[in-house]
A = this chain, B = another copy of it.
Amino acid sequence: MIHYPNGSSFQQGKLATKKGAVKPVTNYGKRGMTLEEELNQANQYYQTKGLAVIHKKPTPVKIVNVNYPARSAAKITEAYFSQASTTDYNGIYRGHYVDFDAKETKNKTSIPLDNFHEHQIAHLKAITEQGGIGFVVIRFVVQDEVFVYPANRLIAYWQNKATGGRKSIPYAEIHDHGFRVPTQLNPTVPYLAAVDQLIAQLP
Contact = CB atoms under 8 A, between A and B. Distances in A.
A96 B131 CA distance: 9
Given A53-B126, A57-B58, A80 B90 contact: no
Contact of A79 (B55, B79, B93): B79
A81 B73 contact: yes
Contacts of A84: 58
A168 interface: no
Nearest to A127: B53
Nearest to A80: B73
Interface of A: 47, 50, 52-53, 55, 57-61, 63, 73-81, 84-86, 90-93, 95-97, 99, 123, 126-127, 129-132
Nearest first, the 10 A-B pairs at minimum CB distance are A58-B60, A76-B79, A92-B97, A95-B131, A97-B97, A58-B58, A92-B130, A92-B132, A53-B126, A57-B57
